[in-house]
Amino acid sequence: MEITFLGTSSGVPTRTRNVSSVALRLPQRKEIWLFDCGEATQHQLLRSDLRTSQIRRIFVTHMHGDHIFGLMGLLASCGLAGTVSQIDVYGPPTLDRYIASCLRWSVMRLPYKLQVHTVEAGEVFSDGEFTVTCRLLHHRIPAFGYRVTESDRPGRFHVEKAQALGIPFGPLYGQLKQGKTITLADGRTFDGRNFCDPPQRGRSMVYCTDTVFCESAVELAQQADVLIHEATFSHQEADLAFARLHSTSTMAAQVAAFAQVKLLFLTHFSARYAPGNPVQVEDLLAEAQAIFPNTRLAHDFLQYEIPRGEDAPQDNPAVAIAPEQGGILLKRGEETTVAVAQKTAPAIAINRATRQQMQQKLGIDAATANAILERRRQQKFTCLEELERLYPQVAWETLNVEF
Ligand SMILES: [Zn+2]
Ligand SMILES: [Zn+2]
């Protein structure tokens, strides 16, 4: 299971980031599954080492253009390639009508079978080796997060052990392999589990976009190997995130921490954090890492092979101690769910309330208040005394500022 990011920008493409798409390569079956298909995804595929002809399934999170405007072009090109026999597309209600309209009005005929599935929360695909489930996230229109889970594999069967004990070749080996207990003609019994290594845990990948912090993302991502979560905004833009129902870096990190995933990738960045701007994606990374250390930034063409079994990091040091960043105190293994939402909102609200109070008491505008809070976030203020010295006109002790 190898992930390739094909687009990591939100809304519009930038010079270095295309709009949303993630490819999951399953080498054992020579298939690629796509998650979202923003405009020019097929161009990105051409620039990658992925083969478009291997695309077998496309999972669409929601109907916003930055997630679907590349779909029809890609489907058309797959038809011209002449090597595709079937593509299954999964997505929210109205995706089927969108595709049907595009096919009709552009007079497009696909020479392969295109099957469009309307998803609901729950299982959307399963074939014994892989299961795909989805959950409704919290965005301005219905948006689904997806989880791909690989089935556990039976552990290695030690045939030499069975041979050494004189167990005759044949169907008995098959039974031992399955962990069953067998009895030989001479009366000896053997427990198959003693001949097999423990089963290898299947790998999993979760893709959550677009959404503000939500419980269903936490539930979908439980114990996943990799969580890809949108982080459209930095923590200081939490107001915007709530207004537009997108996530901040810290919301994504909180989902990762509560779900106890192994690795978090941030993606779907606002163009306002492009290189040269005052706040950049590296700042978003630092914010997220303060809550969930094993966080990485996605960028276009970044590839990540999900490690199997023992290669995978076993320990998840998800401990958030970043109150100076408006974060929340988390302990590993702490109870999750309902408490999360209740804890998240005040953490964000502190900033909002603080800024409003500062504006009133100082007679400054929102941008200046933000700048002061930003300095505090960057730990340039280490103590209340320093703030009092720099901004003596503020009655700091009456403000809701935590250090
Ligand atoms: Zn989007
Ligand atoms: Zn959206």
Kindly write down the DSSP assignment for every residue of 142-208, as one continuous string: --EEEEEEEPPBPPPB-HHHHHHTTPPSSHHHHHHHTT-EEE-TTS-EEEGGGGBPPPBPPPEEEEE
Amino acid at 135: R
pLDDT, average across residues 53-82: 95
Nearest 10 degrees: CA dihedral of 349, 317, 303, 133? -70
CA of 396 to the centre of ligand 1 (A): 39
CA of 210 to the centre of ligand 2 (A): 5
User: Of 36, 49, 66, 152, which one is the catalytic site residue?
Assistant: 66
Q: How far is the CA of 180 from the centre of ligand 1 (A)?
A: 50
Q: How far is the CA of 214 from the centre of ligand 1 (A)?
A: 16
DSSP 365-377: -HHHHHHHHHHHH
| DSSP letters spanning 92-139 | STTHHHHHHHHHHHTT---SSEEEEEE--SEEEEE-SSEEEEEEE--S
| Neighbouring residues of the ion ligand 2, judged by CB less than 5 Å | 64, 210
Cβ atoms of 272 and 279 closer than 8 Å = yes
Query: Rounded CA gap, 165 and 150, in Å?
Result: 34
Residue 282 burial (CB count, 10 A):
11
pLDDT of residue 354: 66
In degrees, to the nearest 5, what angle opens at C-alpha 369 toward C-alphas 344 and 381?
Answer: 80
Ligand nearest, relative to CA of residue 245: 2
Q: What tens digit of pLDDT does each residue of 348-362 get?
A: 444 566 667 777 766
Across the beta sheet with 226-230, the strand order is 122-126, 130-136, 144-150, 204-208, 226-230, 263-267, 295-297
78, 45 contact by CB (below 8 A): no
* Rounded distance from Cα 114 to ligand 2 centre (Å): 25
The ligand whose atoms approach the alpha carbon of 9 most closely is 1
CA of 139 to the centre of ligand 1 (A): 10
Q: What is the pLDDT of residues 168-198, one digit of tens each?
A: 888 888 888 888 899 988 899 999 888 888 8
Q: What is the pLDDT of residue 351?
A: 55
pLDDT for 310: 56
All structural domains of the chain, each given as residue ranges with its CATH number in brackets, are 2-152+202-311 (3.60.15.10), 159-195 (no CATH), 323-402 (no CATH)
Q: Which residue has the higher pLDDT, 402 or 329?
A: 402
CB 132 within 8 A of CB 124: yes
Per DSSP, the three-state class of 274 is coil
- Give the whole-angstrom CA distance, residue 317 versus residue 146: 25
Can you list the positions of beta strands (E) in 272-351?
295-297, 303-305
* Secondary structure E strands in 226-302: 226-230, 263-267, 295-297
207-216 pLDDT, tens digit per residue, is: 999 999 988 9
pLDDT at 369: 72
Helices (H), 205-248: 215-220, 238-244
pLDDT interval class at 199 (50, 70, 90):
confident
Q: Give the CA distances from residue 167 to residues 60, 158, 159, 164, 188, in Å, rounded to whole numbers and listed in that order.
A: 52, 12, 10, 8, 10
pLDDT of residue 318: 42
Cα angle value 302/326/353 (rounded, 5°): 130
| pLDDT value for 338 | 26
What pLDDT sits at residue 35? 98
What is the rounded CA–CA span in Å between residue 311 and residue 317? 17
Distance 143 CA to ligand 2 centre (A): 8
The amino acid that residue 189 corresponds to is T
Would you call 97 exposed, middle or buried from its count of C-beta atoms within 10 A (0-12, 13-18, 19+)?
exposed
Positive or negative, the CA dihedral 100, 57, 42, 137 is positive
Of 18-27, 97-106, 220-229, 359-368, where does mean pLDDT reach its minimum? 359-368
Half-sphere exposure of 357 (CA within 13 A, CB side): 16
DSSP 286-300: HHHHHH-SSEEE--T
Q: What percent of the chain has pLDDT over 70?
A: 79
Share of the chain above pLDDT 90, in %: 56
Ligand with an atom nearest the CA of residue 67: 1
Tokens of 77: 């090109």
Q: Is 66 a catalytic residue?
A: yes
Average pLDDT, whole number, for the chain? 84
What is the enclosing helix (H) or strand (E) of 343? helix 338-362
Mean pLDDT value of segment 307-311: 70
Enter the tokens of residue 368: 């200046």
Residue with the bigger pLDDT between 62 and 239: it is 62
**pTM given for the model:** 0.76
40 touches 28 (CB < 8 A): no
Q: Phi/psi of residue 2, each to 5°?
A: -125, 130
Examine the pLDDT at 329 and tell me if it is beyond 50. no
Ligand 1 centroid – CA 322 distance (Å): 28
Asked if the peptide bond before residue 283 counts as cis, ω within 30 degrees of 0, the response is no
Question: Is 90 exceeded by the pLDDT of residue 224?
Answer: yes
Ligand 1 centroid to Cα of residue 262, in Å, is 24
- Looking at all shown ligands, the one closest to residue 36's CA atom is 1
The ligand minimizing its distance to the Cα of 268 is: 1
Lowest mean pLDDT among 100-109, 191-200, 229-238, 359-368: 359-368
